[in-house]
Amino acid sequence: MAVMSYADAAKLAVAEAMREDDRVWCVGEDLGRGGVFKQYTGLVEEFGPKRISDAPISEAAIMGAAFGAAMVGTRPIVEMRFADFALCATDELVNQIAKARFMFGGQSRAPMVIRKPMGMWRSSAAQHSQSLEGWYAHIPGLVVCCPATPQDNYAMMRAAIACDDPVVYLEHKNIWALEGEVDTSLRGEFGKARLRRSGGDVTIVSWSDTANVAEAAAGALADRGIAAEVIDLISLWPWDKRAVLDSVRKTGRLIVAHEAVAVGGFGAEVVATVAQSGARLSAPPVRLGAPRSLVSYAPNLEDKLRVTAAMIAEAADKMMEAEPA
């Protein structure tokens, strides 16, 4: 296994897929210079400008053109630069791409990977910091993926490119430089969570960079004698209900943590699913997410919106202190 960054892991996955299949190509803004976060560095030199295609600043045009190309047999990777900017192409994604397979009775599909760098990145302010994964999980026809590690960014990118349905692929901007071991023999599987840490006292469910925060919280809890089980969903649709329910039945306690605004966030879906399963809980479930507030440019105000390892650990401590129901 090689050690590489989160950004380089995805770049390797893209390059391998393009070498194997000449139908795979990339389109978006700034690709010719390697991408805003350098996640395409060197690809235009290898594959040329027809397959690493620089586009004008028109997200709707990029998404629409890629959709047409997908419908006639290619497999585009659409770079939206920032998840926030991708909202300019929401009609093409939600009303056209997501519905194409259904509307054409399965005669045509839209095998596309729509890359949307998400999340808070130091002092990026309200228009460059949003986590909108819950929006896309709500839309029938879309696969939604939020990898948190270099390994998963490689394996899930390979799976996303091979998928015959459109995949909204949300990479967290704050962890492009995160390094880890990557086994290139592994391929990801949508709807299959990863057990980041085993434990019998409390279940912590998360995804994207907050899964890394949750793992750090579990380490701090272990020092206090609390064994937390950390489940990284990786994909939000489909999502691994079985892994969550099996864990909660074992621990009797549930914390769901995510960076997105808590109101209407996907954490509510996880909690509701556990509640409806009839699993017996020793304490009320806890959702940790951002308040319903815009992200400030000022670092001290931005930090007030973050879900931290200390917050997760404190919630677990309180759960352990509560009297069993």
What's the one-letter identity of residue 15?
A
Q: Phi and psi (nearest 5°) for 48?
A: 85, 165
User: In Å, how far are 2, 16, 154, 207, 216 from 185, measured between CA atoms?
Assistant: 11, 12, 10, 23, 27
Separation between Cα atoms, residue 57 and residue 29, nearest integer Å: 6
Tokens describing residue 66? 């890629």
Nearest CA among 153, 143, 83, 88 for reference residue 118: 83
**Pair 316, 286: CB distance under 8 Å:** no
Which residues are tagged catalytic?
128
Contact 206, 213 (CB under 8 A): yes
Q: Is the dihedral of CA 146, 150, 152, 158 positive or negative?
A: positive
